[in-house]
Structure 1
Amino acid sequence: MAAAVAVLALLSACGKKEPAPEPERAVRTLVVAGDSAGLTHEYAAELRARTESRLSFRVGGKLLERRAGLGDVVKPGQLLARLDGQDLLLAQEAAKAAMNAARVNRDQSGADYKRFIDLHQQGFISSAELERRDAAFKAAQAQLDQAKAQASAQGNQSDYAQLKADAAGVITAVYAEPGMVVGAGTQVLQLAHDGPRDVVFSVPEHLIASLRGAAARPGALKVKLWGSDQPAQAIQLREVAAAADPTTRTFLVKADAGKIDARLGQTATVSLELPKQDKVIKLPLSAVLEQQGKTSVWVLDGASMTLKLQAIQVGGAEGNEVVVAGGLTPGQEVVTAGVHVLTPGQKVKRYVPPAASAAASR
């Protein structure tokens, strides 16, 4: 019995095998060193007209027709939309009738006043009675002036039922369709005026100071139209919003587009070149990864040939390289490829190109 147990123990021991050691992964590395770099910030932008008007009726009513659509080119005085002005025309006729009645009353009071002047000169009426007739005539004249003003104002109300372009430009937005009942001041169309154009983009609040300082240098602010073969062109900073947007916490910035040949609404990229900095560390984009909300790199310990994850602070970008603002020191060795498949403490070896290894073996 004891011999059988010993045999079983021996067989079970022979069946257990140690797991194979994990193969050492070859990694590309880079020894970081101080360098000079000129940071460039890029922002998505849009070409807009410097002056944009949101057109609306000055009276309310039912929209009968809209003669201008999105993208239409309009001229000054061109009819864009029209309201149902029947009620306004009736009110205008009523105002004219009231004006005519006031005129008749004024004329009658004037004739009476002239007769009472003759009677007063003949001594048939007193001065007090003449003064009352004079006051009645002046009141009738004032009522006529009031009726004229009301008739003129009501005539303007009828004209307000027609929405006309006050400048040449392009319709860039439509807010109302025929059949809708709109109130006075309700936006109906948006008109981008012909004339100067602006490049509009948003900048984070922590970069506003650097934007103002760098934009003062000629050529620091450039724009390149998306889908265009034209090189980037210099633009000049014109306006920075006084307050940040409450939702995005960014500041709206407008730059003079100058003579850039672009359509309204066309997208572009604005680049801001900051002054060059010395002794900065630059890494290829493939060396950087995001983990747990932090930007990190893998640092190789040359003595143990193991990896350690180290957080860094990114200061910007220069082409396909990341400018490191903090977290690394010159002389450290950083992995530059395959960073998403590595683990902390992993044993690795430096990658040697085939050509270099063949040359070393000769």
Structure 2
Amino acid sequence: MMRPVPVCRYIAGVLLIAALAGCNSQAGVAEPPRVARVARVEPATAQAVSVYPGEVHARYESALGFRVAGKISSRRVDVGTHVDKDQVLAELDPRDLELATASARASLASAQAALQLARSEYERYKTLFERRFVSQFDLEAKTNALEAAKAHVAEARAALDTARNQTGYAELRADADGVITAVSGEVGQVVGAGQAIVTLAHDGASEVEIDVPEQAVAQLTAGDAARVEFWTDSGKLHDGKVREIAPGADPTTRTYQVRVSISDADAKPRLGQTARVYFASGARDDQFLVPLSALYEKAGEPAIWQVDTQSGKVHLAPVTVEQYAETGALISRGLVADAWIVTAGVHRLREGETINPIDSLNRRVTF
């Protein structure tokens, strides 16, 4: 006689069979290939590995100031004024200087009068000595007095020349043709000798001033070729070369100031204009520049996911990084030209995994 099966056991069995059937159906559905961004490897020599923003400056810039102290009585230029050589830029109150000149002139007149007296005394004592009315000692004393009077006249004349020169220094003149780029003195201001009043950018050659980080400045030397692109004329490159590299780093930014002269005579940038400076890579043909996002670390060593163009699978390849830069990593071993590598999402991949490759614009890549 058959015993009836409890209803609860029957229901549990049905649910177990349904669950097993669902697992089998899910296992039979293959996961789609993972989307990964890829790029073709190119030699670093074909890439501009260093790009620096900069600003256009004049080749020569002068901070001009008065050669004497005084109170500014007039300023004849403003920022942006174009001036000619020897043009008056500003003036000091000349009254004190004119008084000094008058005093020096009076001192010279007094010295000349003393000289005339000393000469008369000498001539008189010379006659008396010849008649043996005075001694040799008395004549020598008058001779020395005459020479001293001559020296005093020369000293007074030099002092007068100095006073006249200082009176002329009350006018600040341009030392070259150019444009005023800064003004730091105003009428009524009392300034010291040598204090900068205006900055003059000389007409002529222009340069681009850039700041290079300390880890990259060692790659540059004076005379290195460069390409300059101005912001207002984007896409057009002008020839240039490194003219000057600062010997010390800026204490705040820890960057080195580099001046790049513009060789192209057709380039006529405006002062203060923004520019970009490109330096060609110094890498060899067997070195490659890859994005920093392409690097993967395995057992503490750098590696890169390379794509098998036949199967679409990725394989991890160890590489040697020659140098790290802001624009990427320079690989000296482990890659070959025209190889395809994964440049984004490298930490989600597995060895031998098939990927769905896309480029930087999210377009499907066909090998």
TM-score, normalisation: structure 1: 0.71
* Alpha-carbon distance between aligned partners in 2 of 1:75 and 1:352, rounded to the nearest angstrom: 64
Q: Is 1:177 aligned to 2:186, yes or no?
A: yes
Match of 2:239 in 1: 234
Structure 1 CA distance for aligned equivalents of residues 144 and 87 of structure 2: 49
Structure 2 CA distance for aligned equivalents of residues 108 and 213 of structure 1: 67
Whether contact under 8 Å (2:217, 2:256) holds in the other structure is no
Structure 2 gaps, min length 5: 1-30, 296-301, 307-312, 314-319, 359-363
Aligned to 2:228: 223
Choose from 56, 60, 65 the match for 2:74: 65
- Give the partner amino acid of 2:229: K
How big is the shift at 1:55?
A: 0.4
Amino acid at match of 1:39: Q
Does the aligned pair in 2 maintain the 1:98–1:147 contact within 8 Å?
A: yes
Find the counterpart in structure 2 of residue 250 from structure 1.
Answer: 256
2:93 corresponds in structure 1 to 84
Query: What is the alpha-carbon root mean square deviation over aligned residues?
Result: 4.7
Cα deviation 1:135-172 (Å, max 9, x = unaligned): 11111111111111111111111111111112111111
The separation in 2 between residues aligned to 1:168 and 1:180, in whole angstroms, is 26
Q: d(CA) in 2 for partners of 1:324 and 1:275? A: 11
The structure-2 alpha-carbon separation of the partners of 1:276 and 1:141, relative to structure 1 and needing over 3 Å to count, comes to closer
Q: How many Å apart are 1:352 and its aligned residue? A: 9.6
Contact 2:245 2:256 in 1 (8 A): no
Tell me how far 1:286 sits from its aligned partner.
12
Q: Is the 8 A contact 1:79 1:165 kept in 2?
A: yes
Identify which range, 182-191 or 201-210, moves more after superposition.
Answer: 201-210
Give per-residue Cα distances to partners, 1:50-87, cap 9 Å, x unaligned: 21111011111111111111111111111101111211
Counterparts of 1:60 and 1:156, CA distance in 2: 13
Q: How does 1:39-78 map to 2 (within 5 A)?
A: 39-40=47-48, 41-78=50-87
Q: Identity of counterpart residues, as a percentage? A: 33
Does residue 1:274 correspond to 2:262, yes or no?
no
Change in Cα spacing, 1:116 to 1:34, as seen in structure 2 (3 Å) is closer
What letter matches 2:79 in structure 1? L
- CA spacing shift, 1:322–1:150, aligned 2, 3 Å: closer
Distance 1:343 1:134 in 2: 105
Deviation at 1:183, TM superposition (A): 0.6
Question: Match for 1:153 among 144, 147, 162?
Answer: 162
Q: 1:114 Cα shift?
A: 1.4
Are the equivalent residues in 2 in contact too, given 1:44–1:269 (CA < 8 A)? yes
Asked if residue 102 in structure 1 is aligned to residue 107 in structure 2, the reply is no
Whole-angstrom distance in 2 between the partners of 1:229 and 1:26? 40
Is residue 208 of structure 2 the alignment partner of residue 168 of structure 1? no
Structure 2 match to 1:19: none
Instruction: Tell me what 1:29 maps to.
Output: 36
Cα displacement string for residues 64-122 of structure 1 (whole angstroms, at most 9, x for unaligned residues): 11111111111111110111121111111111111111111111111122122222222
Supply the distance in 1 between the matched residues of 2:157 and 2:131 (Cα, whole angstroms): 37
Pair 1:214–1:163, CA change in 2 (3 A) = closer
Whole-Å separation in 1 of the counterparts to 2:39 and 2:77: 61
Deviations 1:237-259 (A, max 9, x none): 22222233232232423334441
Gaps of 5+ in 1: 1-23, 290-295, 306-311, 357-362
TM-superposed deviation, 1:25: 10
1:326 positional shift: 9.2
